[in-house]
Structure 1
Amino acid sequence: MFQSRTMTAIVCHGPKDYRVEAVGRPEPKRRELVLKIDACGICASDCKCWSGANMFWGGQNPYVKPPVIPGHEFFGRVDQIGEEAAEHFGVAVGDRVIAEQIVPCDKCRYCRSGSYWMCEVHNIFGFQKQVADGGMCEYMRIPETARVHKIPEEISLEDAAIIEPLACAIHTVNRGDIQLDDVVVIAGAGPLGLFMTQIAHLKTPKKLVVIDLVPERLALAKSFGADVVINPREEDPIEIVRGLTEGYGCDVYIETTGVPAGVTQGLEIIRKLGRFVEFSVFGAETTADWSIIGDRKELDIRGAHLAPYCYPVAIDLLQRGLVTSKGIVTHHYGLKDWDVAIEKAYGLDSIKVLLRPGYGADAAG
């Protein structure tokens, strides 16, 4: 059967210059795979990269190296296997798989010590073409150093498509070291915040509070186990949380709003000796009074980055039905509908937007 040597892909050429193009279809080299992509989510960081955020495009050596196919929230089926790749990855043609978002170098001090998610080179799928294009395309090459995991067939397409953000949420919640008597606040009820809500609920804290500006997202958070939901346009989060904690403040604050107000709010709302977990990718620098961290409260500030060792946990939780994508995956688009999809993902009337090769305008075309 004839196979075309080209494929449809979204190609990033610069901020707000992403184009639907016909590009060469990848071929696997030694210890590499090619996946046929089933779906690829549009992440908040994809939106910020598309919009031109300085963290992606600023400085003398910008992180993004166009032209490149974006997308790191992908999964698919093994379509081609390079020499030794079957043994290297433990997969066969037709297997349903996902690769972690980072492509570690396996040579730096972090990779060699097991902290591969903090790789000094730090290539992520979809940002540097010379390492690996991302998943907003029909077929995708998986390099030798990628971390690959099998996905059970019984997991739905929508659940499989959110393994990456769910794994990030698991790592973030774990960084909070939640105890049974903790009052936990999650700021932001986007996709990551809603997955964090589900994971934090499984930790059974004393009280779980979620803060967001969108009523529909707060309703979802409530359905996922939040005890208290707060819309700061209508209520004072600091007053409510102090009322829940005899005036002290929350034990754990998880920041996933991606806006500066989420940080400054957290520094006020958290108790002395509390644990502040920062996950967000910010589009602009954030200014805060650092004397709160040291002199006033002696806070434990913890970053959370990517999803080390959490993909198998995410897959297991989905397989057991303990977490879900229902209500979070809100929109599906084909690759040819990119312009509509990114505008939808950038707005507040969606939560998680998926790109699916062959869907919608792709199939019609």
Structure 2
Amino acid sequence: MTTETMQAVVCHGPEDYRLEQVPRPSLPEGGALVRVEAVGICASDLKCYHGAAKFWGDEHRSPWAEKGRIPGHELVGEVVEITDEAAARWGVAVGDRVVSEQIVPDWDCRYCLRGAYHMCATHDMYGFKGYDGAMAEFIAFPAKALVHKISKDLPPAHAAFAEPLSCALHAVERADIQFEDVVVVAGCGPIGLGMIAGAKAKGAATVVALDAIASKLDLARAAGADVVLDITQDDIYAAVRDLTGGFGADVYLEGTGHPAAVKQGLNLLRKLGTYVEYGVFGSEASADWSIISDDKELDVRGAHLGPHTWPKAVQMIESGVLPLEDICTHQLPLSRFQEGLDLVGSGASSVKVSLIPDSSYTG
């Protein structure tokens, strides 16, 4: 019997990703087989590609990434095969369009048992460890996956934006935004734009967007920002003081992963303000911790993945509240994955880059 094959990008280590013909996955027990329609390239995909310690490990951390794994976790696809158990569990059927949360929890560890499945101790994630991702023609959803149905009326790249938007919404929830708050969002990439829309949905009085690229600041306005500031030209500290009666921002949401944005946020916040970190860093960031303690008594919170926010992310995408035609700037065939990685790396000419299996790519 001849094994069916498919086109896929395979990670062989940092800066060694290759387009290959690999065996097509079979229907997993209790799961589903999905034909990939689009997969976004995340900043974490790029940092894994470049060998960041977060993914490949160092003296303090075990590696997240595995060689031989197919990358890609910002995915959307059509169900082509599904077991009866999975159909009942997820409420989907053959022919439905679906997205899947990037983590596949074990559902047995102390975190999962307490509802924090996104912090699962085994930390298996599509495209990095444990399960192949979606930079391929097909992907298998295991029985323990989290799966959500999404409209077939959306362009595939727009539907795949559910993953970064869910992450942004989780960061917003971690901030505990109040109606009178002035919220500063650092970075107007995919995560930052989602943070802006989420902060407005939470009722923030004023949302301030920071970036160094004029076109991304224009997108920030379209996503709901009340004030946009160019960090290379504007005095952002004076501007935020003016907006807050001299006190400083109530909330700072960091979505760039750039070390300079950490100090920036600590200095922009008022006393008793809230800092939420979502960025994926390629190197360590340092700061004067006395700002956090003795100077301002700040709340500093991390945010990881998008637990419990996927239904809202899907609803927001289907509602058209985000300017996704302008956010989803590039769709490339899977065979041009290297060009896609380079576009994400440059940052200046793209916002969200997605890959489309070559058999579905229409140019």
TM-score bin (small chain): over 0.9
Deviation at 1:3, TM superposition (A): 9.8
Please name the residue that 1:29 is paired with: 28
Query: In the alignment, residue 350 of structure 1 is paired with which amino acid?
Result: S
SS at match of 2:326: coil
Change (3 A) 1:363 1:156: closer
- Please tell me whether the aligned partners of residues 99 and 160 of structure 2 are also in contact (alpha carbons under 8 angstroms): no
SS at match of 2:185: strand
Equivalent positions of 1:25-104 (< 5 A) are: 25-59=24-58, 61-82=62-83, 84-104=85-105
What whole-Å deviation, never above 9, does each CA across 1:320-348 have from its counterpart, x for those lacking one? 22334221100011111112111112112
Please name the residue that 1:223 is paired with: 222
Comparing 173-182 with 269-278, greater Cα deviation is found at 173-182
Q: Could you tell me how far apart the structure 1 residues matched to 2:152 and 2:56 are?
A: 39
- Please tell me whether the aligned partners of residues 28 and 140 of structure 2 are also in contact (alpha carbons under 8 angstroms): no
Please name the residue that 2:267 is paired with: 268
Please name the residue that 2:251 is paired with: 252
What whole-Å deviation, never above 9, does each CA across 1:117-167 have from its counterpart, x for those lacking one? 110111111012xx2100100000111110011112233323201000111
**Unmatched 5+ residue regions in structure 1?**
none
Q: Could you tell me how far apart the structure 1 residues matched to 2:28 and 2:235 are?
A: 57
Q: Could you tell me how far apart the structure 2 residues matched to 1:314 and 1:156 are?
A: 16
Comparing 351-360 with 170-179, greater Cα deviation is found at 351-360
Q: Could you tell me how far apart the structure 1 residues matched to 2:88 and 2:29 are?
A: 11
Please name the residue that 2:242 is paired with: 243
Q: Which runs of 4+ in 1 moved over 3 A?
A: none
1:20 aligns with 2:12: no
- Please tell me whether the aligned partners of residues 12 and 66 of structure 1 are also in contact (alpha carbons under 8 angstroms): yes
Change (3 A) 1:263 1:230: same
Query: In the alignment, residue 80 of structure 1 is paired with which amino acid?
Result: E
Comparing 51-60 with 307-316, greater Cα deviation is found at 51-60
Q: Could you tell me how far apart the structure 2 residues matched to 1:319 and 1:343 are?
A: 29
Q: Could you tell me how far apart the structure 2 residues matched to 1:324 and 1:316 are?
A: 14
Q: Could you tell me how far apart the structure 2 residues matched to 1:339 and 1:4 are?
A: 27
Deviation at 1:225, TM superposition (A): 1.9
1:113 aligns with 2:114: yes
- Please tell me whether the aligned partners of residues 335 and 358 of structure 2 are also in contact (alpha carbons under 8 angstroms): no
Please name the residue that 2:356 is paired with: 356
- Please tell me whether the aligned partners of residues 318 and 324 of structure 1 are also in contact (alpha carbons under 8 angstroms): no
Equivalent positions of 1:264-343 (< 5 A) are: 264-343=263-342
When the two chains are superposed, the root-mean-square deviation of aligned CA atoms in Å is: 1.8
Q: Could you tell me how far apart the structure 2 residues matched to 1:102 and 1:306 are?
A: 8
1:197 aligns with 2:214: no
Please name the residue that 2:125 is paired with: 124
Q: TM-score normalised to the size of structure 1?
A: 0.94
- Please tell me whether the aligned partners of residues 31 and 88 of structure 1 are also in contact (alpha carbons under 8 angstroms): no
Query: In the alignment, residue 250 of structure 2 is paired with which amino acid?
Result: D
Change (3 A) 1:91 1:225: closer
- Please tell me whether the aligned partners of residues 200 and 224 of structure 2 are also in contact (alpha carbons under 8 angstroms): yes
Please name the residue that 1:139 is paired with: 138
Query: In the alignment, residue 223 of structure 2 is paired with which amino acid?
Result: F
SS at match of 1:63: coil
Please name the residue that 1:162 is paired with: 161
SS at match of 2:340: helix
Please name the residue that 2:186 is paired with: 187
Q: Could you tell me how far apart the structure 1 residues matched to 2:346 and 2:196 are?
A: 21
Q: Could you tell me how far apart the structure 2 residues matched to 1:168 and 1:338 are?
A: 23
1:172 aligns with 2:171: yes
Q: Could you tell me how far apart the structure 1 residues matched to 2:301 and 2:291 are?
A: 15
Q: Could you tell me how far apart the structure 1 residues matched to 2:3 and 2:13 are?
A: 28
Q: Could you tell me how far apart the structure 2 residues matched to 1:203 and 1:32 are?
A: 35
- Please tell me whether the aligned partners of residues 184 and 253 of structure 1 are also in contact (alpha carbons under 8 angstroms): yes
- Please tell me whether the aligned partners of residues 28 and 141 of structure 2 are also in contact (alpha carbons under 8 angstroms): no
Comparing 55-64 with 274-283, greater Cα deviation is found at 55-64
Change (3 A) 1:93 1:4: farther
- Aligned pair count reads 360
- Please tell me whether the aligned partners of residues 36 and 139 of structure 2 are also in contact (alpha carbons under 8 angstroms): yes
Identity of aligned residues (%): 47
Q: Could you tell me how far apart the structure 2 residues matched to 1:363 and 1:283 are?
A: 34
Q: Could you tell me how far apart the structure 2 residues matched to 1:208 and 1:355 are?
A: 31
